[in-house]
Structure 1
Amino acid sequence: MGIDAPFGARAAKALAKRGPLCVGIDPHSQLLRAWGLDDTVAGAERFAMTMVEALAGQVAFIKPQSAFFERFGSAGIALLERVIAAARHGGSLVIVDAKRGDIGSTAYAYAQAYLDPSSPLAGDAVTASPFLGVGSLRPMFDMAAAHHRGVFVLALTSNPEGVQVQRARRKDGRTVAQSIIDEIGDANADTEPMGSLGVVVGATVGAARGEQDSRGYGVTHSAVQTGETAHDLSALNGPILVPGMGTQGGKPEDLRRVLGTAASQAIPSYSREIARHGPSAPGLRQAASQAGDQCRQQLGR
């Protein structure tokens, strides 16, 4: 199944073949120092390419965090281009963690940058921020559909600052996060094996339950409980990127509690928990294999 297949279909195949693991490549200062590298673009290149060479043939997804490359300016962007190309060539699907979002022609330009195959920054999918309205991401959705790519839309993040926006209630009783999940689910409706639009749900946001929340908003068996609010993921029909695994506190056993039955669509993402085992390539592969096996066991794959 090549690039002519939609991202959702390619992601489903990768999940079945290689398991659910996503490994983040985040060349930030602390990790570079831990590897004995200088905090320079040369150090970042050694770090990132070692990660890619060790893991691209093993894990289903690789997620370079754009900010840690951008901080080095044009040389860092050039490195990001090489990382994307090498990871895709190695056989992993690449999720470019850029969290872009804007309106009109600017949104279209972001779509060209990260989703048009003619761009050296294009991966298989990109993360996007919907807080100018989910409709503002339409250029990215359209570009993704045209080129069989994917978009992961922020819905429930683990940072405490997100609470006041993501869990604020609309007049219809839904939270802002739930409305984002619902809009993405509508776009994915009737797509097999799943749609190419996903959401981002932090690994530490809460636990699943199948009941009404304290204000009477009904939820089903597939929901995220965040404080007194439950969020329903059962109709998403798309991939769920779950960052924050490992060092940031998320554990494999949290996946079903957080996502309920939607955990079958989970892509748990580890970054520092894997990278700290470098620069040894065998150490990186062993750490990724162990994390992947633990997630697969919890998800019943």
Structure 2
Amino acid sequence: MSAPARAFGARLREAVETRGRIVVGIDPHASLLQDWGLEDTPEGLAAFSRVALDAVAEEVCAIKPQSAFFERHGSAGVAVLEELLEAARARGVLSILDVKRGDIGSTMAAYAEAHLLPGAPGEADAITLSPYLGTGSLDPAVRLATEHGKGLFLLALTSNPDGPQVQHALTGGHTPVAREIARHAEESGSGEPGEWGSVGLVVGATVGDAYRSLGLDRAAPSAPLLAPGFGAQGAGPAQMREVFDDNAGHVLVSWSRGVLSVGPDPARLKARVQELREQYS
């Protein structure tokens, strides 16, 4: 009988302590491929992904491929994504697949099986989920993640300007929607006392004081925080304290263009991540 899978939250915390808190988004925009001298084809995606992973593998706590940039090339692009995820596992690098899935019932279960079931072609260590069909809609993914030591990141306070229309709104119980999502993440993913939970939140580094004023810090104190918005969107080291305050230690600092734009030279890519590790240590 195989040993129980180790909780994602524990594995993620260990990766942060070992390699720092930088997450590099492997997002093969057409413009980036052009800048790297690559064709906007599945072959270009494959070359881009190999160089990016090789350059940052020893310097990041996780990679975060954006599924859409692979999916737009059809089945051949999805195959490249699957190869990237497999290569990351072989290198011992955690993968957070940015797919933002959200559905109900058997459809949600199928999405979860596609990415959280060990041995699935699209297996990742964690995925992003949209909880806006109700937090209970995520239960199939929560069950599978818990069973197999996988992680989830729920969209809570995103960095897009229209996010507050829904995320700041009050529920019937006069609780902000984002805080209800945070509460669900804590209940679903909390681990042993003092450990990180395995269900985290996506909280943009550009949301100002909303993370604290809406009470997400109190609702989900153990949740890891995947934070986009650094670099091109304007956030920097100062926002670690300004936005996240006492929970800054749980933040995964997500960078994409601000790293990938210095490629394709692997040495420059690696040096850029090392520089960011120092800034956000």
| TM-score range for the pair, normalised by the shorter chain length | over 0.9
Contact kept? 1:70, 1:76, Cα under 8 Å: yes
Contact kept? 2:114, 2:122, Cα under 8 Å: yes
> Are positions 1:224 and 2:212 aligned together?
yes
Once the two structures are superposed, the pairs formed by residues 72-221 of structure 1 within 5 Å of their partners are 72-189=73-190, 191-192=192-193, 193-207=195-209
Contact kept? 2:5, 2:147, Cα under 8 Å: no
After superposition, the CA RMSD in angstroms is: 1.6
Deviation at 1:45, TM superposition (A): 1.3
Q: 1:126 to 1:37 in 2, by over 3 A?
A: same
Q: Which stretch shifts more, 188-197 or 247-256?
A: 188-197
Identical counterparts, % of pairs: 45
What is the one-letter code of the residue matched to 1:181?
A
Deviation at 1:190, TM superposition (A): 5.6
How many residue pairs match? The answer is: 277
Deviation at 1:46, TM superposition (A): 1.2
Contact kept? 1:56, 1:88, Cα under 8 Å: no
What is the one-letter code of the residue matched to 1:57?
E
CA–CA separation in structure 2 for the residues paired with 1:262 and 1:235: 12
CA–CA separation in structure 2 for the residues paired with 1:51 and 1:190: 32
Deviation at 1:235, TM superposition (A): 4.0
Once the two structures are superposed, the pairs formed by residues 253-292 of structure 1 within 5 Å of their partners are 253-292=238-277
Structure 2: 5+ residue stretches without partners: none
Contact kept? 2:13, 2:196, Cα under 8 Å: yes
> Are positions 1:63 and 2:64 aligned together?
yes
Query: Runs in 1 of length 4+ with deviation above 4 angstroms?
Result: none
- Provide the secondary structure at the position in 2 that maps to 1:267: strand
1:247 equivalent among 223, 228, 232: 232
- Provide the secondary structure at the position in 2 that maps to 1:94: strand
| TM-score normalised by the chain length of structure 1 | 0.88
- Provide the secondary structure at the position in 2 that maps to 1:247: coil
CA–CA separation in structure 2 for the residues paired with 1:74 and 1:135: 31
Q: Which stretch shifts more, 247-256 or 175-184?
A: 247-256
Deviations 1:229-275 (A, max 9, x none): x3331341121100121112121220121112111111110000000
CA–CA separation in structure 2 for the residues paired with 1:28 and 1:174: 38
Contact kept? 2:142, 2:188, Cα under 8 Å: no
Q: Which stretch shifts more, 23-32 or 173-182?
A: 173-182
CA–CA separation in structure 1 for the residues paired with 2:125 and 2:190: 21
CA–CA separation in structure 2 for the residues paired with 1:33 and 1:20: 29
CA–CA separation in structure 2 for the residues paired with 1:186 and 1:146: 16
- Provide the secondary structure at the position in 1 that maps to 2:147: helix
Deviations 1:17-36 (A, max 9, x none): 11111000000111111112
